Chain A
Amino acid sequence: MIVTSELVIDVRNVSVRYIIPHERIPTLKEFAIKWLRGRVVWKQFEALSNVSLAVRRGESVGIIGRNGAGKTTLLKVIARVLRPGAGTVSTTGRVVPLLELGAGFDPELSGRENIFLNGAMLGHSRRYMARRFDDIIAFAGLEEFIDAPLRTYSTGMVARLGFSVATDVEPDVLLIDEVLSVGDIEFQQKCVDRMNRFREQGVTFVLVSHSLPTVTNLCERAVWIDNGCVAMDGPAAEVVAAFTARSAGVQPGAGEADAGRSRISA
């Protein structure tokens, strides 16, 4: 494993606010009425507040935390899916997001066409994908079903195809959100092998997972996100241990609702 001093992900003082869904003004009619009455207010939920994270080339970072803590939001910010309300994000090299397996797949198209569609979304040309095609289906183990429409695939098969397309090209930065647990044992092992190979080759990855063993196995470093803030950042084993200790001490669910409420502002 090679960790250099070069920063590949640099998240600085990032805050992300969501407009709470039922408070969104969805129509021009409502907006006009509220505006005329001078009552245009948006309630917002701060999913990330002032988060900074610097990742060097070759690092493997696991992100842990409770449901709704802001882990996925952080990953989406790094993947440029969400533009933060405040702060800056910069990445270098080819960033491949695996935010949800099957994102960017069209259920009506066949597996074959979906490989090209997904490749196009990652910015690859058709000719390039045609060259990689055999390797992709071989890794996914889907040779027999490649011409069937994707809607006939099982969840596991879609997951395999998604992982296979995304990781076929060696990315500079791989962002993974809780997707390794979908396939069967055999495929999971293939994924872990590929991830380990990436790690040896110096690919940076950021992994969001609720599976603490996965984090300790695959990552050197872990970041614990709590209530939209970085609670702890350090060697994976230590962070996981601290998180486990805290989770064991807190009644499941207690405090979560309060914490959520305190982050809502008008």
Chain B
Amino acid sequence: MLQMVRSAREILKYRTLLATLVSRDLKVRYKRSVLGVLWTMLNPLLMMIVFSVVFAKVFRFTFEHFTIYFLSAFILWNFVSQTTSWSTACLLGYAPLIRKIYVPKAIFILATVLSGLVNLLISLIPLAMIMAVVRHPIHASVLFLPLSILLATVFALGLSLFLAGICIEFNDVVQIYQALLLAWMYLTPIVYPLDVVPERYRWLIVANPLYPLVETFRAPIYAGVLPDSMTVLRAAVWALAALISGWWVFERRSDRIAYLV
């Protein structure tokens, strides 16, 4: 724990580098233009259309405002899946730097997660627009979202550190993780409501760390209520557990990273 504080302090010392890395990431992604920002909004929009059509029409989910139900969970899922999969490859991208100059390695992972966070915040804009279009009311409960997002960020950072630590040693884990992500998405109630899952398999879904994280984020948007305290507590425990274990795995390897990249 003391070690963790020490590395956090060191990263703080390099905050200018952190800011530079994040802004460079964003510049590359958005190509410094409003059009670039709009373009990144297109992806969730297209996904939404595909999923809405498939699940609303084909599976005949007939509950109210399926689009919002799906989308509010999907942008959170997107954040976790994107940042973690970027992190699997991110150290290799910085290899020339890592071999030549000392910087705390976790800073690259943190920068990746933070730029994903900016992405998540930006994607709240099309979500709000769609909510306005389909006349889904926005309740005061959305004021809870900063906490939901914080928990998701801590979780994503922990998992990213864990994966980056493993992938630097075994680079086939990058592909394995991509396959796992697909399974993980369908094991999380993102496109379907929990009650379509047969009772005896439901524990499998509830044990999934993403379930409480998604619910903590979705409830204030979709249902217009605060998430129940048990769910928030579960989300917080998962987030902290991910951060501590991820940090531990990463830190143990960080001395060897310069030899491995």
Which positions in A face B, CB cutoff 8 Å? Answer: 18-19, 24-29, 31, 76, 79-83, 97, 99-100, 103-104, 106, 108-109, 116-117, 119-121, 123-126
Once the chains bind, are A19 and B103 in contact (CB under 8 Å)?
no
CB contacts (< 8 Å) of A18 on chain B: these are 259
* Cross-interface CB contact of A81 among B14, B16, B100, B170, cutoff 8 Å: B100
CB contacts (< 8 Å) of A25 on chain B: these are 170
Task: Identify which of residues 6-30 in chain B touch chain A, using a CB-to-CB cut-off of 8 Å.
Answer: 13-14, 16-17, 19-20, 24, 28
The binding surface of chain A is classed by DSSP as loop
CB contacts (< 8 Å) of A103 on chain B: these are 96-97, 99-101
Once the chains bind, are B258 and A104 in contact (CB under 8 Å)?
no
Please classify how large the interface on chain B is, using the bins under 10, 10 to 19, 20 to 34, 35 or more.
20 to 34
29 contacts between A and B (CB under 8 A): A18-B259, A26-B170, A26-B172, A27-B171, A27-B172, A28-B173, A28-B176, A29-B172, A31-B170, A81-B100, A81-B101, A81-B258, A82-B258, A82-B259, A83-B255, A97-B101, A99-B101, A103-B96, A103-B99, A103-B100, A119-B16, A120-B16, A120-B17, A120-B20, A121-B97, A121-B101, A123-B16, A125-B16, A126-B19
Closest beta carbon of chain B to A165's beta carbon, Å:
12
CB contacts (< 8 Å) of B100 on chain A: these are 81, 97, 99-100, 103-104
Which positions in B face A, CB cutoff 8 Å? Answer: 13-14, 16-17, 19-20, 24, 28, 96-103, 170-173, 176, 255-256, 258-260
Q: Which of B102, B103, B172, B176 has the most CB of A within 10 A?
A: B102
Instruction: Give the CA-CA distance A80 to B100 in the complex, in Å.
Output: 10
Contact of A81 with B99 at beta-carbon distance under 8 Å, contacts A120-B17, A124-B16 already known: yes
Instruction: Give the CA-CA distance A120 to B101 in the complex, in Å.
Output: 12
Closest beta carbon of chain A to B101's beta carbon, Å:
5
Contact of A117 with B101 at beta-carbon distance under 8 Å, contacts A27-B171, A28-B170 already known: no
Q: Which residue of B lies closest to A26 (CB)?
A: B171
Once the chains bind, are A117 and B171 in contact (CB under 8 Å)?
no
Q: Which of B19, B96, B171 has the most CB of A within 10 A?
A: B96
CB contacts (< 8 Å) of B259 on chain A: these are 18-19, 82
